Amino acid sequence: MHHFNYEQGRLHCEGVDLTEIADQVGTPVYVYSTATLRRHAKVIAAAFDGMDCLIAYSVKANGNLAVLKTLASEGCGADVVSGGELRRALAAGIPAERIVFSGVGKTRAEMALGLEQGIHQFNVESGAELIALSEVAMSLNTVAPIALRVNPDVAAGGHPNISTGKAGDKFGVPWAEAPELYHQCKALPGVEAVGVDVHIGSQIGDLEPMRAAFEKTIGLVKFLRDAGHDLKRVDLGGGLGIPYRNTDAPAPPSDYAQMIRDVTEGLGLQVILEPGRVIAGNAGVMVSEVLYHKPAPDRTFMIVDAGMNDLMRPALYQAHHDIIPLIEPAADAPSTEYDIVGPICESTDKFAAKRAMPSVAPGERIAFMSSGAYGAVLSSQYNARPLVAEVLVDGDQFAVVRRRPSFEQMIELEQMPTWLT
């Protein structure tokens, strides 16, 4: 569910006309709905009511401080994959004891930051990382709570670029090596194994691969407990899908929660979850203006002012976004096929090919739906284009929560060497 609807023929986010935002802030612009963020956080929390469950929102999905602050007020913790994301979570008011640090390439400085802040857990992804974390913790005279991320070699479906649980993926330790690494952990100073972590991918609509991975992981927890490891937690990652198309019907959070209850029942484990897309994805849209129509022999290009530097998902993994006009078309409006492309000097700067939609004239605006996750966080200044602006709506009010930088701000980190001055 989301709070983007036509009212009197104009697309609104909650009580705010998106045309008003586009007029005041310019385009392209991301617009996020507070009501949708809060609703999704509440739905997930309610699904796990009565369980010992830490809902650690995945900051990589959308790390805007205002979004994080909104979710912190709903009781969400954070799953972070860098020192910068950790600092963002803390700046937004998420307590360190509700933060989990994941990722395959933590630096020693990032480890030290997490230890100094007293985070809930490190998800360790290799033997080398385990040794480094032990050494950093010893240098700080503290102990790092850790879970080893295991790779269960379970295929989750979807695009290979968002698969994380198959043999050959860079994530997690190979399944066969996990028992020995837990044994090694027990002998290392400065680290304490408190759980097991698993995450098999993103945008998963079918719960069966998740169940298979989770049951396999719980089997490992039982094996390790029998071997003398006092494991209290299981981190089951994120990955639950959202409907990018009206025809999509991914598993609802209630079914996901019931499956996890079934798998973990009676074990006395704290369950850690890392939802990101399922909270933020449908809570945001990107608004863009149509610049030109360009007829070609076999198609018509709709050229818009947003580019792949603003919304990378279609270029990165051929992702689909519904695209709709800000002005509601008539029910009997004829459909036109467009290749919807941006101004970036790359052939991959294409949002949709032969997309059937009502005609939208140059100067009119369109909304890329379901772009609240992995949208603005992946944006760049390629082609010397400024970072896309972000807006948060709450009821009938809105605020810019990331401004579009000026050219001077874009280049202020650069400087000429002395031999060129």
Judged on CB neighbours under 10 Å (0-12, 13-18, 19+), 314 is buried
Structure tokens at 144: 């790092």
Please list, residue by residue across 188-222, b when 16 or more beta carbons sit within 10 angstroms of its beta carbon and e when fewer do: bebbebbbbbbbbbbbbbebebbbbbbebbbebbe
> Out of 13, 53, 76, 345, which one is annotated catalytic?
345
- Which candidate, 419, 418, 395, 390, places its Cα nearest to that of 405? 390
Going along 190-314, which residue ranges are E strands? 191-197, 233-235, 270-273, 284-296, 299-304
Structure tokens at 134: 């032990």
Q: Is the peptide bond before 28 cis (omega within 30 degrees of 0)?
A: yes
Q: Are 61 and 40 in contact (CB under 8 A)?
A: no
Cα 120 to Cα 113: distance, rounded to the nearest angstrom: 13
Structure tokens at 128: 């080398």
Structure tokens at 130: 């385990």
Helices (H), 274-312: 277-280
Length, in residues, of the chain: 421
Is 345 assigned a catalytic role?
A: yes
Cα 374 to Cα 75: distance, rounded to the nearest angstrom: 22
- Indicate if the alpha-carbon torsion angle 110, 112, 114, 116 is positive or negative: negative
Cα 325 to Cα 411: distance, rounded to the nearest angstrom: 34
Cα 215 to Cα 209: distance, rounded to the nearest angstrom: 10
The residues, ordered by sequence, that sit 6+ positions from 303 with a Cβ below 8 Å of its Cβ are 290, 291, 292, 293, 294, 341, 342, 343
* Cβ atoms within 10 Å, residue 153: 17
Residue positions annotated with a catalytic role: 345
